């Protein structure tokens, strides 16, 4: 093995940063799906909601993914569902992220024992319940529909973010830079929004990315149970349920394609999360 001389080492070859592959793959997959979700329903000659075709046709050149039991083109329906599924999941993560981070942070820095133990117990209580069951119970109470899913998810999920935020906020609050901000006379508002929350939300945002995958599946699962989107709106979970009854007679396409779409969404976010993790890890080394 030769040893590189000093002068050679000065030529730093350009290299790809860690995690780039994951980030590009993830973005690419997700981006492609979103683009398709925007364009395909518009460009296709089929209407996603009109039962105008012969039902249960196998995939062909005319209908890429075949038709479902009511005679609708599955291809256009799968992509019509993109915004519903991804959009609902996105909102269903964003609201708990923001609410949970703020509440958790305030709790972490508060010195008021009573408030702390009251809300703290509330958070622990909510977190103790199995997530999906709690959500289902809430929806049974509120009534089905996409807005209900979002509401139920928000009411349950914020507690998970709050717990992470609270733990992190306690640590951040004791850090030198926060104490320095106090001695420097910064206003409480500035300290909270410029110093504490950004360093707390770095953790909750990381959690949000992996939570996104869980919520996508949860949204589909809830619709599968009939608690989600109202028919005839296309939605992956509902489509899977509609197609489930046809599986015993070997009509696989109404179930498999929405299922694949779900997988695609989940995997692309997983790539994104992994790529981001690697990138951050390299930077911190």
Q: Quick one: which of 43, 180, 244, 263 contacts other proteins (CB under 8 A)?
A: 180
d(CA 178, CA 192): 9
Residues 90 and 270 sit within 8 Å (Cβ to Cβ): no
The nearer residue to other proteins, 208 or 215, going by C-beta atoms, is 208
209-239 burial: b if 16+ Cβ within 10 Å, else e: bebbbbbbbbbbbbbbeebbbeeebbbbbbb
20-43 and 82-109 helices cross at what angle (nearest 10)?
A: 130
d(CA 136, CA 153): 9
The nearer residue to other proteins, 36 or 279, going by C-beta atoms, is 279
d(CA 118, CA 27): 41
Min CB(221)–other proteins separation in Å: 37
The nearer residue to other proteins, 185 or 248, going by C-beta atoms, is 185
The nearer residue to other proteins, 32 or 283, going by C-beta atoms, is 283
Please report whether residue 176 would count as binding other proteins according to CB under 8 A.
yes
253-284 and 82-109 helices cross at what angle (nearest 10)?
A: 40
Please report whether residue 115 would count as binding other proteins according to CB under 8 A.
no
Helix (H) or strand (E) holding 260: helix 253-284
Take residue 249 and report the two structure tokens written for it. 């007679």
Min CB(181)–other proteins separation in Å: 8
Min CB(206)–other proteins separation in Å: 14
d(CA 166, CA 178): 16
Residue 50 is given by DSSP the state -
d(CA 130, CA 108): 24
- Give the binding range for other proteins (CB under 8 A) out of 7-15, 66-74, 98-106, 112-120: 7-15
The nearer residue to other proteins, 198 or 231, going by C-beta atoms, is 198
Please report whether residue 133 would count as binding other proteins according to CB under 8 A.
no
Please report whether residue 249 would count as binding other proteins according to CB under 8 A.
no
The nearer residue to other proteins, 7 or 250, going by C-beta atoms, is 7
Residue 63 is given by DSSP the state S
- Give the binding range for other proteins (CB under 8 A) out of 2-10, 161-169, 204-212, 216-224: 2-10
- Give the binding range for other proteins (CB under 8 A) out of 6-14, 24-32, 146-154, 159-167: 6-14
Closest CA to 31 of 86, 74, 84: 86
Give residues 182-241 in contact with other proteins (rule: CB under 8 A). 182-186, 194-195, 198-199, 202
Q: Quick one: which of 140, 179, 188, 245 contacts other proteins (CB under 8 A)?
A: 179
Instruction: Catalog residues that contact other proteins under the rule CB under 8 A.
Output: 1, 3-10, 12-13, 15-16, 175-177, 179-180, 182-186, 194-195, 198-199, 202, 283-284
């Amino acid at each position: 093995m030769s040893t590189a001389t000093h002068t050679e080492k000065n030529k730093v070859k350009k290299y790809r940063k860690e995690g780039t592959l994951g980030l590009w793959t993830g973005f690419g997959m997700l981006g492609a799906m979103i683009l398709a979700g925007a364009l395909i329903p518009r460009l296709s000659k089929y209407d996603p909601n009109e039962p105008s075709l012969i039902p249960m046709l196998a995939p062909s050149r005319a209908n890429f993914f075949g038709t479902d039991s009511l005679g609708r083109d599955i291809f256009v329906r799968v992509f019509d569902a993109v915004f519903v599924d991804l959009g609902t999941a996105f909102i269903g993560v964003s609201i708990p992220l923001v609410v949970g981070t703020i509440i958790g942070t305030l709790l972490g820095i508060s010195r008021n024992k009573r408030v702390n133990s009251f809300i703290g117990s509330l958070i622990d209580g909510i977190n103790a319940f199995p997530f999906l069951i709690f959500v289902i119970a809430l929806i049974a109470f509120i009534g089905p529909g996409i807005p209900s899913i979002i509401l139920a998810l928000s009411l349950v999920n914020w507690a998970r973010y709050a717990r992470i935020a609270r733990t992190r906020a306690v640590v951040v609050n004791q850090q030198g830079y926060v104490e320095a901000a106090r001695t420097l006379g910064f206003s409480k508002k500035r300290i909270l929004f410029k110093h504490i929350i950004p360093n707390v939300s770095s953790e909750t945002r990381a959690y949000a990315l992996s939570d996104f995958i869980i919520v996508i599946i949860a949204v589909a699962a809830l619709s599968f149970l009939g608690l989600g989107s109202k028919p005839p709106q296309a939605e992956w979970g509902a489509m899977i349920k509609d197609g489930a009854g046809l599986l015993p007679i070997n009509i696989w396409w109404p179930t498999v394609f929405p299922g694949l779409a779900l997988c695609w969404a989940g995997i692309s976010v997983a790539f994104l999360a992994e790529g981001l993790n690697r990138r951050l890890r390299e930077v911190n080394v």
